[in-house]
Amino acid sequence: MTPSQDLDLVADIGGTNTRVALARAGVVQHDSIARFANQDATDLHDILARYMTQAGLTRGGLHGICVAAAGPVRDGVAKMTNLDWHIDRAMLVDVSGASRVAVLNDLQAQGYAIGHIADADLRVILPHDATSAHAAKLVIGLGTGFNAAAVFDGDHGRVVPPSESGHITLPAPDDQARDLARYLTAKHGFAAVEEVLSGRGISHAHAFLHGVEQPAQTIMDALKADDPQARATAALVTRVLGNVAGDLALVNLPFGGVYLIGGVSRALAPYLLQFGFAEAFADKGRFGPFMAQFGVSVVEDDFAALTGCAQALKAL
């Protein structure tokens, strides 16, 4: 089959589900998006082959393929953090026959999407003044896990370096945070950021405060009902998020904005300001006023990583 000159396949591989879609010229065709449960597949090759069959595509009918994986990527090889799948370019070529191939970390894909997300899908938490097009940006993801990636725009295009920020040491700026770090160390051997700022992290924070570990969804449902224990848990997670986001902002200087993505970010978005995110973000001593230069928004487009994959292929 002769490949389409502009038809690409893009996929966002999370810890639980994989979303797959078609894109043309960097734009995702939303009516083509399909979701697959990872537990029902042997590997990514299986999912992509099933999707192509459902879409009426045969090997060699695509121009490009790009996947975003929730795990570290090195030399075009992805190792999933929460899934025992091996993903590389050779496998993508084998299943698709495409000539343009890319493997990204999921936060890298989110970075490529920034600037291509509708304003209606951005919830502004902390506003900031307009900056130059080349100003650095930062994406921070809270979902099954936690990660962050800087976004740099230069004369020769966009660069989004990979990162594994979820496994850095949890900051402990006060007595409660230090007690939380000791609790996580005793339970998991190491107090990593991801053990608080993720789905399971919400459960860990709840257990630390209240002695009972509940599913994150149960806690968030209770939060909507104004349950005091759920409010205390969400407030603790929010303050930790503010501390960590502030640290990462000082490392990367994202004058073009900080963008929170992922299901946990979207769930916490309505509560961030009332639970002290802004204060924790700016809690940097004499550098507190400096932090006002960094705007913060929540990305409410659940398919932004697919857009990022499409834009990455367009840039190849």
Tell me how far CA of residue 293 lies from CA of 5, 106, 130, 201, 257, in angstroms: 43, 26, 10, 29, 9
Per-residue pLDDT of the chain (316 residues; tens, 9 = 90+): 455 568 999 999 987 899 999 999 999 999 999 999 999 999 999 999 999 999 999 999 999 999 999 888 888 888 886 778 889 999 999 999 999 999 998 899 999 999 999 999 999 999 988 888 899 999 999 998 899 999 999 888 899 998 889 999 999 999 999 999 999 999 999 999 999 999 999 999 999 999 998 999 999 999 999 999 999 999 999 999 999 999 999 999 999 999 999 999 999 999 999 999 999 999 999 999 999 999 999 999 989 999 999 999 998 7
CATH match of 119-299 with 1.10.3720.10? no
The packing angle between helices 44-54 and 89-96, to 10°, is 30
Q: Rounded distance, CA 274 to CA 252, Å? A: 26
Q: What is the per-residue pLDDT for 155?
A: 86
Instruction: Please report the sign of the dihedral spanned by the C-alpha atoms of residue 49, residue 199, residue 257, residue 72.
Output: negative
Following DSSP, what letter does each residue of 252-301 receive, concatenated? H--TT-EEEESHHHHHHGGGTTTTTHHHHHT--GGGTGGGGG--EEEE--
Work out the angle at residue 113's Cα, subtended by the Cα atoms of residues 120 and 194, and round it to the nearest 5 degrees.
95
Q: What is the per-residue pLDDT for 1?
A: 47
Question: Dihedral angle at the C-alpha atoms of 172, 147, 82, 93, nearest 10 degrees?
Answer: -160
Q: Rounded distance, CA 13 to CA 143, Å? A: 12
Q: Do domains 7-112+305-315 and 119-299 have the same CATH topology?
A: no
> Secondary structure of the chain: what % helix, strand, coil (to 5)?
45, 25, 35
Q: What is the per-residue pLDDT for 5?
A: 64
Selecting from 3.30.420.40, 3.40.50.300, 1.10.10.10, 3.90.1420.10, what CATH number does the domain 7-112+305-315 have?
A: 3.30.420.40
3-state SS class at 191: coil
Q: What is the per-residue pLDDT for 284?
A: 97
Q: Rounded distance, CA 129 to CA 140, Å? A: 20
Q: Rounded distance, CA 256 to CA 294, Å? A: 7
Residues in Cβ contact with 110 at an 8 Å cutoff, skipping those fewer than 6 apart? 68, 139, 141, 149, 259, 261, 299, 304, 305, 308
Q: What is the per-residue pLDDT for 289?
A: 96
Q: What is the per-residue pLDDT for 2?
A: 52
CB-CB contact of 12 with 28 (8 Å): no
The DSSP H or E segment spanning 230 is helix 228-252
Q: Rounded distance, CA 73 to CA 75, Å? A: 7
Q: Rounded distance, CA 112 to CA 59, Å? A: 27
Q: Residue 124 — φ and ψ, nearest 5°?
A: -75, 125
pTM score of the predicted model: 0.90
Q: Rounded distance, CA 281 to CA 288, Å? A: 8
Q: What is the per-residue pLDDT for 4?
A: 59
Domain assignments of the chain as residue spans, ordered by start: 7-112+305-315, 119-299
